[in-house]
Amino acid sequence: MARRRQIYEGKAKILYEGPEPGTLVQYFKDDATAFNAKKKGVIAGKGVINNRISEYLMTRLSEIGIPTHFVRRLNMREQLVREVEIIPVEVVVRNIVAGSLAVRLGMNEGTPLPRSIVEYYYKSDALNDPMITEEHITAFGWATPQDLDDIMSMALRVNDFLSGLFLGVGIRLVDFKLEFGRLWEDDQMRIVLADEISPDCCRLWDMKTNKKLDKDRFRRDLGNVEEAYQEVARRLGILPESGPRDIKGPSVMQ
């Protein structure tokens, strides 16, 4: 079989040329990095679990009308996605104080925020993803004010929906990071949710115990990293061990 052309290699994923024009294959690695890749490691089986979790969450989000790049899962570690032009802005939504917000403002981790906060970071490893404002984004032409309206309203809808979804399985959605891309169809441009949504880019705390079920276990050397990722998949009803066919999670009462 001809070797597929690699388009891009990131810290946790590889993008290959897809089977049709305008598509890519997104391959999920077990590699994990933190603190802008100063800390490196491998979380065994992470790629398989994140592929599943991201498939599940992107599918649920598209069902409520959030456009995404996701097409379908291809196998254990790969999914087919639409090729988009990634907007170089990481959009972070926070519900509870944690991580860099706790450090920056000297607040205690776990303090609930009076309302959800959206932050923007410029996606640049060389610059260590500096925090930016809408002013920088529009002044430098990374997105227009209209694009930003769309991004902000999608990010808040994603937050409301995912907060409820995780609450239903006993998990608090503390914060998360999204990436968006431009999808060109004919001469029309649409902004869609891209990248992945997984415990690599969310903070997920058990509702009862506050146990961390996300990449902070790796960042902070808390141990049982693989088990935490599996626990999230298990609660969503999508553990790969649960069967060879696609399992669509807990069934909804009609």
As a whole number of angstroms, the distance between CA 160 and CA 93 comes to 10
Q: Contact at 8 Å (CB) between 171 and 213?
A: yes
As a whole number of angstroms, the distance between CA 19 and CA 17 comes to 7
- Closest residue by beta carbon to ligand ASP: 33
What would the x/- binding string for ligand TMP be over residues 16 to 55, using CB under 6 A? ----------------------------------------
Residue among 53, 97, 202, 228 that touches ligand TMP (CB under 6 A): 202
Q: Is 37 exposed, middle or buried (0-12, 13-18, 19+ CB in 10 A)?
A: exposed
Residues 154-183 that bind ligand ASP (CB under 6 A): none
Place of tokens 């891209």: 194
Q: Contact at 8 Å (CB) between 7 and 15?
A: yes
Residue among 25, 49, 81, 92 that touches ligand TMP (CB under 6 A): 92
What would the x/- binding string for ligand TMP be over residues 118 to 147, using CB under 6 A? -----------x------------------
Give the one entry of ligand ASP, ligand TMP, none that residue 83 binds, where binding means its C-beta sits below a cut-off of 5 to 8 angstroms depending on kind.
none
Residues 189-218 that bind ligand ASP (CB under 6 A): 215
CA angle at 234 for the pair 156 and 11, rounded to the nearest 5°: 65
Only segment of 108-116, 148-156, 197-205, 220-228 that touches ligand TMP (CB under 6 A): 197-205
Indicate whether 123 belongs to the interface with ligand ASP (CB under 6 A).
no
As a whole number of angstroms, the distance between CA 41 and CA 121 comes to 24
Residue among 70, 176, 180, 205 that touches ligand TMP (CB under 6 A): 176
Give residue 83's identity as a one-letter amino acid code.
Answer: E
Give the one entry of ligand TMP, ligand ASP, none that residue 33 binds, where binding means its C-beta sits below a cut-off of 5 to 8 angstroms depending on kind.
ligand ASP
Q: Is 133 exposed, middle or buried (0-12, 13-18, 19+ CB in 10 A)?
A: exposed
Torsion of Cα atoms, 142 then 146 then 149 then 152, to 10°: -30
Residues 7-46 that bind ligand ASP (CB under 6 A): 11, 33-37
Residue whose C-alpha is closest to residue 224's, from 233, 234, 214: 214
Q: Given the rule CB under 6 A, which residues bind ligand ASP?
A: 11, 33-37, 215, 219
Q: Given the rule CB under 6 A, which residues bind ligand TMP?
A: 92, 98-101, 129, 175-177, 201-203
